[in-house]
Structure 1
Amino acid sequence: MNKKQSSITTLVAIGVGAAVFFILGRFLSIPTGIPNTSIETTYPFLALMATIFGPFAGLFIGLIGHAIKDLLTYGLWWSWVLTSGFAGYGFGFIGRKLKVSQGIFTKKDMITFNVGQVIVNLLAWALLAPALDILMYSEPASKVFVQGIVSGVLNSLAVGIIGTLLLKGYASTRTKSGSLRKEN
């Protein structure tokens, strides 16, 4: 695929990814009982898209998808929108080490992916989101750090379970290079 085709593919992936992110966030979030904190199916999907299309696609899918979800539900909350972009970029950065598009997702890859995604989720939700909430909205630290830590743990679990299954499933649909041979 040439560079122009790759750019168009990435732009389409960002548009479709942001739309699916919104739909998942709007209709497949499970409230936890902690205010404004849910078990999200958006982040496993974001991890899949970022792994396939790269860190910049992950960044923009997270930013745009989360912004649309906020705008069409309860109002734009920039600190968490930015954090979703950060998470998407982080997932894409980890995904660069994987070869799922070549049909490879080994147990070692699963471990690499999950260690990386836990680090990204905890940095994003337990540190960045609360810090931005305090800086941007003067939210009480005790409140936002509880929300952030719970979100970081829940997103890590969701990405660890659903994201790993999505990546494994995607890799299994790809043809491994060198697996086709010409018969005589």
Structure 2
Amino acid sequence: MNADATTPREPVLAISSRTVVFGAVGAALYAVLGLFSFLIPGTQAVAVRPAFALVPFFGKRFGVIAGFFTGLVGNMIIDLLTGSGLTYWNWSIANGLVGAIAGLIFAYMPPIANEAVRLIVTALGALLATALGLLFVITDIWVQGIDFNTFLTLNYGPALLSNAIAVVILTPALDALWEPLSKRTGR
């Protein structure tokens, strides 16, 4: 039995000091580690960012609000530090939605006792959250004046592919590392 099975669940949209602290820690980690990324050639500023795996991880482990804050604020800080400013505000919202959707997916999922199954479900849940949350960047059609084909082939597709690789591998790895700590603290 894992720690998820014994931990009483808070309301899905509860805001507590724990939520605020973990959201801020997640945003800071994502902002700093997110600076270590590289652009995919031939795309419109789509970067492979392994730190993106932190977004669904924080959503899963610390809830909808912490996941949203991690993705939104972390991505905004990355954009500010790299000189993009708030030009790509819709991508920051999309990152936040990934964390929030991951939080929702795992909030309503029953506890899983088997370690291997839990890690596979974590990878699939993080992938689904990424695919759904990044759909918000369809707003590039209006924000940047691009057509649907450009959105699909140069923005959404490459971003989904690069982030999918990160979340399928690294989110379960982070969760596996966090699980023993979670059991010790009862969270």
TM-score (norm 1): 0.80
Are residues 1:82 and 2:82 paired?
Answer: no
- Alignment deviations for residues 31-68 of structure 1 (CA, whole Å, 9 cap, x no partner): 22133111112321112211111011101111111112
Q: How does 1:1-184 map to 2 (within 5 A)?
A: 7-26=16-35, 28-33=36-41, 34-73=43-82, 74-76=84-86, 77-96=88-107, 97=109, 106-125=115-134, 127-129=135-137, 131-146=138-153, 147-175=155-183
Higher RCO structure (Cα 8 Å, ≥6 apart): 2
1:85 alignment partner AA: G
1:80, distance to aligned residue in structure 2 (A): 0.4
- The DSSP-based 3-state class of the residue aligned with 2:16 is helix
Equivalent residues of 1:21, 1:66 under 8 A apart: yes
Distance 1:62 1:105 in 2: 29
Equivalent residues of 2:67, 2:99 under 8 A apart: yes
Distance 2:81 2:184 in 1: 41
- Alignment deviations for residues 101-154 of structure 1 (CA, whole Å, 9 cap, x no partner): xxx5622222322222222222233x321x111123322333322221111122
CA change 1:16–1:174 in 2 (3 A) is: closer
Give the superposed CA RMSD: 2.6
> Percent identity at matched positions?
25
Distance 1:105 1:43 in 2: 26
TM-score (norm 2): 0.79
1:99, distance to aligned residue in structure 2 (A): 5.1
1:170 alignment partner AA: W
Equivalent residues of 1:63, 1:81 under 8 A apart: yes
Aligned pairs, how many?
A: 169
Structure 2 unaligned regions, length at least 5 = 1-7
- The DSSP-based 3-state class of the residue aligned with 1:174 is helix
- Alignment deviations for residues 152-172 of structure 1 (CA, whole Å, 9 cap, x no partner): 122111111011111011113
Equivalent residues of 1:46, 1:61 under 8 A apart: yes
CA change 1:143–1:136 in 2 (3 A) is: same
> Of the two, which has the highest radius of gyration?
1
